Amino acid sequence: QGLKPVVSTESPALIFGTTSKLASDLPATDSFLGKNKVPDLQKLFQKADGLPVHLKRGVPDKLLYRTTMALTIGGTIYCLVALYMASQPRNQ
């Protein structure tokens, strides 16, 4: 008879071992893939129009750039004021 093993010798059922759809089963032009925009963006960014790369996409880029610059300048001024106030002796 011998001793029975404490641990089951059968492998457990796979939970995440299989997928519901295989990649080979999907059609090549499925709707969730969308259009490849890389060639269009390459044409846009490589155009020699004198604009820097970070401003080539128009108004949203200008708005983001100006907001970033305003926050940077405002933060620098705030830090300088805080440093000036910290360097002054306190009156008792």
- Superfamily of chain region 51-91: Cytochrome c oxidase, subunit VIIa (4.10.91.10)
Confidence of residue 91 (pLDDT cuts 50, 70, 90): confident
Residue 36 has which token pair?
Answer: 């490849």
48 conformational bin, left if phi > 0, alpha if psi -120 to 50, beta if neither? beta
Q: What is the pLDDT of residues 17-59, one digit of tens each?
A: 655 665 556 565 556 678 888 999 899 889 888 888 888 888 9
CA atoms within 13 A on the CB side of 52: 5
- Mean pLDDT score, 5-14: 69
Per-domain residue ranges of the chain: 51-91
